[in-house]
Amino acid sequence: MELKNNVYKIDGLNVLDLCNEFGTPLYVYEGKTIERQYNKLAEAFKDVNVKIKYACKALTNISIMKYLHNLGSGLDTVSIQEARLGILAGFKPDEILYTPNCVSFEEIQMAVDLGLSINLDNISILEQFGHTYGNTVPCCIRLNPHIMAGGNQNISVGHIDSKFGISIYQIPLVKRVVDACNINVTGLHMHTGSDILDADVFLRGAELLYNAAANFPNLRFMDFGSGFKVAYREGDVTADIAGIGKKISKSFKAFCRDYGRNLELWFEPGKFIVSESGYLFVKTNVIKQTTSTVFAGVDSGQNHLIRPMFYDAYHHIVNVSHPKGTKRIYSVVGYICETDTLGYDRQMSEVKEGDILAIHNAGAYGFSMSSNYNSRYRPAEVLILNGKAHLIRKRESFEDLTRNQILIEI
């Protein structure tokens, strides 16, 4: 989003016109930004056989997934429903990695029936998988490297108390299960968390995977997860993708020489690809001044963007209706009957009732974590491609709230 001649635009389109056409609250995604982020990652790892698997839990809209498939991406999914959405969006089953956690074995079997690449993260399921399929269906194994990454336990998933993955210290037991059940292990996987700035976290985990690889002679790929940090504030420090790419590529090529053949290197970025592409546009319903705070109350809340409450996440907010007004301090809050502050003590151009505010970095874990709390409707979604706005999800209606409810006689 750019400010030109006192007007905010996305790919040449006036933001206020978009809000008038599609209403608010409104999610808008810029295709050019998605393409830029995807290409930046692909370029950083061009020296190895890299496969990018978009982590669609960040944003599961099928048009977004189709757009990424057209860019050359594969797909990372964590549920059978995400996988089915991916197939609907145009991904072939063998382009989809299925990495569930704490699901039933019946769901694993559904994934096998669909033809997905299976990634298993606990020994119990690994044993059942081996007893059921032997070496007829290959699988990947997710290992927990016991590395704290991202500085926040809510977004770090590779530490010792995490529910994700099989402990790296259980490799001897994994090896015995694999041998006893004749399991064909073709991949090793790790994911340590989000907001990673440098290559060291990946390299520490990579060394553990490299050592574990000696136990699995049929490997075809290694998946290093993702978690590259993006900017949330002006001047924010971000991951040096080019530098990370050089260090990891050098390390991976050395491993492949020792292993005896070239493997594929997989990454599964979600936030890195779509976060900066997205904006949540909201309308100011009320300006409310108390003894200590001036609130800008908007027509949205934690039901549409829960990250500020769930992760204490920062999202930059600007007044797009009056970009050059006098700067004043507001706490931007929602219309939900809970504490749902979207931004504390934000300095922005003076806000009046009816003004449109833009919440940045809303592309990842925005709509995908939204809800109907307080029986509010979820917003519409729009994708901007080549200067044209495409409606990719209709705004919900009252019929959507009642569709699956059954009113009984009492």
7: enclosing H helix or E strand: strand 7-10
Give Cα separations from 122 to 38, 40, 126, 210, 249 (angstroms).
31, 33, 6, 20, 29
Residue located via tokens 């606990």: 122
Distances (CA, A) of 345 to 285, 314, 322, 327, 332: 18, 12, 18, 12, 8
On the CB side of 258, CA atoms within 13 Å amount to 12
Residues whose CB falls within 8 Å of the CB of residue 282, separated by 6 or more in sequence, listed in order: 24, 25, 298, 299, 300, 356, 357, 359
Encoded tokens for 348: 């922005």
Spacing of C-alpha 380 from chain mean position: 19
Residue 95, class by beta-carbon neighbours within 10 Å (0-12 exposed, 13-18 middle, 19+ buried)?
middle
Contacts 24+ apart (CB under 8 A), 3-9: 3/323, 6/323, 6/324, 7/323, 8/318, 8/320, 8/323, 8/358
What is the DSSP-derived secondary structure letter of residue 378?
P
CB 277 within 8 Å of CB 37:
yes
In the chain, what is the greatest distance between 2 CA atoms, to the nearest angstrom? 72
30, β-bridge pairs: 384
- For residue 290, the tally of other CB atoms under 10 A from its CB is 8
Query: Where does residue 157 fall: left (phi above 0), alpha (psi -120 to 50 degrees), or beta otherwise?
Result: alpha
261: alpha, beta or left, given left = phi > 0 and alpha = psi -120 to 50? beta
- C-alpha closest to that of 331 among 299, 305, 280, 296: 296
**Phi, psi at 351, each rounded to 5°:** -100, 130
Active site (catalytic) residues: 337
